[in-house]
Every structure is written in structure tokens, then in C-alpha cells.
Amino acid sequence: MSLSESELITRFFRSCGAQRRDVALGIGDDAALLECAPGMQLVATTDTLVAGVHFPESTPPAALGHRALAVNLSDLAAMGARPAWALLALTMPSAEERWLEEFAAGFGTLARAHDVALAGGDTTRGPLTITVALLGQVPRGRALTRAGGRAADLLYVSGSPGDAAAGLAIVQGRLSAPPEAAPYLRERFLLPTPRVALGERLAGLARACMDVSDGLLGDAGKLAAASGVGVEIAFEALPVSPPLVAALGENAARELALTGGDDYELIFAVDPARAAQLERALPAQEWHYRQIGVLRGAPGARVTRAGTVMEFSHSGYRHFA
Ligand code: ADP
Ligand code: MG
């Protein structure tokens, strides 16, 4: 590497994230020292992105920096936590200054937007692999989990699932979308929006919450199973974006909303007795979420359409393979 490891860290990462007063000691020593606020629980998550596995090799570095943090922010959002500190373990074949600059810009812009400090990390040579660990805080006892749902709870989803899966297919050349739809869909894959503010506001309102990364139907099934119940989703209720419908038509758009991955939206279960309170506290028009189904006593995940149960295979990619 032309740059030494310490030059690289100083130049690109030392002031990459937000400056926070609760970072007693940040980048530069053997480990970071962080001040946890009293009455709060520490919430911790990590996610790894491997080139060619979790993102196409052609992905712009700024999008990678954004994404590596966004997927972790989404996990904390799902817990109802407020993010605070990140660690970045970066493995790359060589230290390309241009690449590092763009990567750090993508990471840093999102970090500062969420007041996340980059408190440390590791830098090694090898096949491009990005691991971010993210720490946040939640008032003791208020964290949202997958396990709190009960039969008859209303199930909601934020945003418009399916967009990111279509965006990935466009990036990979498996789907061609009309010119007015393609840029939006591509961006929904490249620059996912973690629903951090929504997750934090849902703590105390929702009974269970989870972020959707592997496909809405499968993930809703996981939330239901963790809660010891099942789930029923109404096909017609699935929110699909106009660009996704423009690219695929209504029917395939809804199928992709159920099975496509990389959405980083939240699904959450709410006691029906609190639905009105939810709508008052977080107007759906403003916060962009919609009820898509209910939890039910019978285990498993099923989708109904015009009152009948749909056969559903997890093959969202098939229609444009
Ligand atoms: P050590 O030899 O103790 O592992 P390093 O030389 O790896 O120390 O790291 C020096 C300092 O730089 C540490 O504070 C570490 O947390 C930080 N650091 C290393 N790589 C990164 C990175 N990619 N992003 C942020 N901080 C980093
Ligand atoms: Mg190290």
C-alpha cells in the first residue's frame, strides 16, 4: 500500500463520523472508551458485506460505505434503539486513495446524519470485505424484540418493499425498467434508508419489531415464530411504489414485495387496542407505513388474496430471471 496504515486511518477515518461527547477515547489507541448514559441498555449489532456475495463488484464505493452502515442502523432501528458508536473492520486488496475517499464519504455522510461516531476499527489486506459493528442505547426495558407479538396484533410494514430487489436486478442487468423508474429502483438498492427514527418512536407502541432484509414474507414468518404465533398477509394491502409497478406490473410488483430482499424496512406488530394511538403518534401518511396483515394463532406464514389463500413459493427472482 502506498499509504501506511496509520496515514490511511488518520486521513480517511479519524474525522469520518459524528463528533460525540460520550466518546472518551476514539480512534488512535488500542480500543475506544465510550460513556453509556445512565438508565440505558447498550444495544450491539454487526454485519459483514463480502464483495461478490453481498454486493456486485461494480458497486460504487460511496454506496458501499453507506450500505455497510445502513444495514447495521436498520438492525438497531428494529430494536427501537438510538445508534451512537460504530467500529469499522475493512479488508481490501490494496489501499486506493480514490476508493477510500469515496467509501469514507458514503459512510461518513450517513454516520453524521444519525449522529454516529466512528470510534475505531481495523484495516487489513485481503479480498474486499467490510464489517461494521454498531452500538446504540435504549431506555432499560424498552427495546423492541421479535418475540412480543400476540395473535390478533396488527402487522405493519414501512416504506415500499420490493424496490431494492428490483434495483439489484437492474444493476445486475437481469431486469430492464422504464427510464422514469430505473434510477429510483437502483437507488433503493444502492442507498437503503434505515428507519431509525421510526424504530425509536415505535418503542413503547409496538409489541414486536424486526427489520426486513431477506424478504417480507419470510421475515414476517420469523417474527411470528419468535412470538409463538403465525401471520397472515393480505396481498392487496402490500404497498408497492409506482416505479416498481411501472417496471413489473401490479401483480409481479406485489410478489416481489413479498419475496425480494435488501429492503431494510421495518415490520411491526401492534395491539389492535393501540392502533388509534399509533396513528395519532405517528401518522401513517407522514411516517410511511401501512397495515398489511395480522398475527394469528395458527403457526406459519400465509398470504390471502380476495379472501383465498395463495400458494406462495419463495422465488421472487423468477419473473425476470
Ligand atoms: P492495533 O494494532 O492495536 O489493532 P491498529 O493499527 O489496527 O491498532 O489501529 C489503530 C487505531 O485505528 C485504533 O484505534 C483502531 O481502532 C483504529 N482503526 C484502525 N482501522 C480503522 C478503520 N478502518 N476505521 C476506523 N478506525 C480504525
Ligand atoms: Mg488492528
Give residue 212's region: left, alpha or beta (phi > 0; psi -120 to 50). Answer: beta
Please give the radius of gyration of the chain, using alpha carbons only, rounded to the nearest integer.
20
Three-state SS for 212?
A: strand
Looking at the chain, the whole-number percentage of residues with pLDDT higher than 90 is 93
Q: Residue of the nearest CA to atom 10 in ligand 1?
A: 28
Q: Which amino acid is at 126?
A: G
Which residue among 85, 123, 134 is best mutated to probe the pocket of ligand 1, counting the most ligand atoms within 8 A of its Cβ? Answer: 123
Tell me the three cell numbers of residue 304: 390471502
- Per-residue CA distances from 11 to 5, 6, 29, 89, 311 (Å): 10, 8, 16, 16, 54
- Sole residue written with cell 456475495: 53
Q: What is the pLDDT of residues 2-22, one digit of tens each?
A: 678 899 999 999 999 999 999
- Per-residue CA distances from 147 to 11, 205, 206 (Å): 43, 15, 11
- What's the distance, Cα to Cα, between the start and end of the chain in Å? 40
Residues 6 or more apart whose CB falls under 8 angstroms from that of 15 comprise none
Nearest to 268 by CA among 162, 157, 160: 157
* DSSP category for residue 272: G
Q: With beta carbons less than 8 A apart as the criterion, state whether 207 and 150 touch.
A: yes
pLDDT at 315 over 60: no
Q: With beta carbons less than 8 A apart as the criterion, state whether 136 and 43 touch.
A: yes
What integer pLDDT is reported at residue 2 of this predicted model?
60
Residues in contact with ligand 1 by the CB-under-6-Å rule are 5, 9, 13, 27-30, 88, 90, 118, 120-123
What integer pLDDT is reported at residue 196 of this predicted model?
98
- Gap from CA of 243 to ligand 2 centroid (Å): 44
Mean pLDDT of the residues in the chain? 95
Q: What is the pLDDT of residues 248-265, one digit of tens each?
A: 999 999 999 999 999 999
Q: What is the pLDDT of residues 196-251, one digit of tens each?
A: 999 999 999 999 999 999 999 999 999 999 999 999 999 999 999 999 999 999 99
pLDDT at 316 over 50: no
CA distance 125 to 91: 5
Which residue among 103, 122, 124, 135 is best mutated to probe the pocket of ligand 1, counting the most ligand atoms within 8 A of its Cβ? Answer: 122
CA distance 264 to 71: 7
Which residues have beta carbons under 5 A from ligand 2 (an ion)? Answer: 122
